[in-house]
Structure 1
Amino acid sequence: MMEEADTKVAAVQNVRAVTRALSVLNSFAGKGLQSLAQVSAATRLDKGTTRRLLLTLMHSDFISQDPVTQHYRLGAAIRKLAANVEDSLDLRAIAQPILLQLANELGVTAFISVFQDNSAVCLDRVHDMRGIEVHWWAIGGTLPLNCGGAPKVFLAYQPEEVIEQILSGPLEKLNAKSITDPDVLRGQLRTIRKRGWECAIDDVAVGITALAVPVFDAEGRVTCCVSMAGLTPQMVERGKPVYLRRLQAAADAVRAGIEA
């Protein structure tokens, strides 16, 4: 009887450890880098427990650590798993040849992304070997919804209550040009809805511009987002996006593939 009780206690402890590890991973939803204190606060675990969980997850590549800031981010193992998740529409299979054509034709990095759990998630990323490869949005990775082309497009088309929920929390500052003022961001979201696209200049990485276009379903809801990124002089001319019509055509092609 004593051995059986010990086994049950051990099982409960193991389940608790798994639950805590999952809470650490979930704390990165919609975020990039986090400090130990931020992860601890988000999971409501003490810093000692949080640190041990982070180190364990780092050992298995589910978490990585920035060598400069010592902050944490989701690791390569998460991206590999996410890359193998099959959507009911298999968006990756539909979008990949379209992304390849974009990347090869224009010398950019092309992306397909979806909005899940209040986060913009990259499903696939393709770059042309002759052009610049944009690394800051890996497959399975997320970006703050106030930064980048696709994240802001997703946020712009969310219900008002979702938008206000996001704007009421802290808005992450990736660099000096990231928009962290809720009123300024509200105005930008209205502009995105009116024109149907976003050109994000320097707000994720200085010198890089992202152009994003939503893909709508038959009911007018955003299914996914097609975007591209490259050096700002390549992407913008006289304050206007160079490849907007080409990207809109790519979004139309993705929608046609979904509806086929």
Structure 2
Amino acid sequence: MDNHLSSVKNSCKLMKAFLDSDKELGVSELSRQLQLSKGAVHKLLMTLESEGFIKQNPANKQYSLGYTLLELGNKVLTNHNLAEFAKPLLQTLADTTQEFVCLCARDQYEAIYVDKIESKHPIRFNVDAYRRFPLYATSAARSILAFRDDRFIDHVLSEEIRTFTAYSMTTPEEIKERLNRIRANGYEVSSNMRNVGVTGIAAPIFDADGTVNASISMIGPTDRVQPHLDAFIQHVVTTTKDISNQLGFRGKS
């Protein structure tokens, strides 16, 4: 039994139609997209306009999203806590992979782990919550840095590069090449760079405007991660895409 009100559902679909359009839409176009009669679409538009969710351009009679949605969106952002928001998906990723997973966020020019779920394996990787790292130092940090602009990246790499193992990258050029690969792939996989014998898989979280200020990573002993590498990559990428979409991102991640 469908417990959804069809009129409310159609109203939601109508407003979502504007997410994929960079222009105003008219009754005929909305009727075609929603597969509803022009009369039904017109009634929906009139109702939504009366509450400020839709506004009409008097010059061409076309419609766009109204300012009430902007107010609601700002309210969401004000109340938004990424750690709480992402927790259920973070837990699902941990349950699926049985490995350590964490949420990483950018704080100025550093990365900080703001949430984590530990692996249940007796032999496992762990990291302290709220620990800070340079934005080039870990798979999660690089997955954020890769999607910042060149000026920001140059600033991060202008100071002396810290190394953590014999496999750590040591020059800005080497790191930039790595960042280019992350952007192309949409994720990062690294072994031994921060801890020998450990492999991390990370992917970025995109905000509604396309910026990246956070990422999710899954980390475990290399000999346990490598046999499942492709599947684990897919799980991590799917998780960050789901979070990005729920944050309002509509681009290609």
Distance change >3 Å, CA 242–CA 179, structure 1 → 2: farther
Task: Compute the displacement of 1:235 (Å).
Answer: 2.1
Match of 1:254 in 2: 243
Distance change >3 Å, CA 223–CA 117, structure 1 → 2: closer
Answer yes or no: is 1:114 the counterpart of 2:105. Answer: yes
Task: Compute the displacement of 1:167 (Å).
Answer: 1.6
Match of 1:135 in 2: 126
Number of aligned residue pairs: 173
Q: How many angstroms apart in 1 are the aligned matches of 2:198 and 2:237?
A: 20
Task: Compute the displacement of 1:122 (Å).
Answer: 0.8
Task: Compute the displacement of 1:152 (Å).
Answer: 1.0
Match of 1:81 in 2: none
Q: 2:154 aligns with which of 164, 167, 170?
A: 164
Matched letter for residue 229 of structure 1: I
Q: How many angstroms apart in 2 are the aligned matches of 1:171 and 1:88?
A: 37
Match of 2:15 in 1: none
Match of 2:175 in 1: 185
Task: Compute the displacement of 1:253 (Å).
Answer: 2.4
Matched letter for residue 246 of structure 1: H
Q: How many angstroms apart in 1 are the aligned matches of 2:116 and 2:166?
A: 26
Unaligned runs of 5+ in 2: 1-77
Return the TM-score normalized by structure 1. 0.61
Match of 2:95 in 1: 104
Distance change >3 Å, CA 237–CA 181, structure 1 → 2: farther
Runs of 4+ aligned residues of structure 1 deviating over 4 Å after TM superposition are none
Unaligned runs of 5+ in 1: 1-86
State which structure, 1 or 2, has the greater radius of gyration over its C-alpha atoms.
2
Q: How many angstroms apart in 2 are the aligned matches of 1:152 and 1:109?
A: 18
Percent sequence identity is 23
- Alpha carbons 2:208, 2:244 under 8 Å: kept: no
Distance change >3 Å, CA 157–CA 256, structure 1 → 2: closer
Q: How many angstroms apart in 2 are the aligned matches of 1:189 and 1:128?
A: 28
Q: Please give the root-mean-square deviation of Cα atoms over the aligned residues, in Å.
A: 2.3
- Alpha carbons 1:235, 1:241 under 8 Å: kept: no
Which residues in structure 2 correspond to 1:1-260 (within 5 Å)? Answer: 88-130=79-121, 132-136=123-127, 138-237=128-227, 241-259=230-248
Task: Compute the displacement of 1:258 (Å).
Answer: 3.0
Task: Compute the displacement of 1:105 (Å).
Answer: 2.0
Task: Compute the displacement of 1:213 (Å).
Answer: 0.5
- Alpha carbons 1:104, 1:127 under 8 Å: kept: no
Structure 1, residues 108-158: CA drift from partner, whole Å, max 9, x if none?
10111111111111110102323544223x211112222211111111111
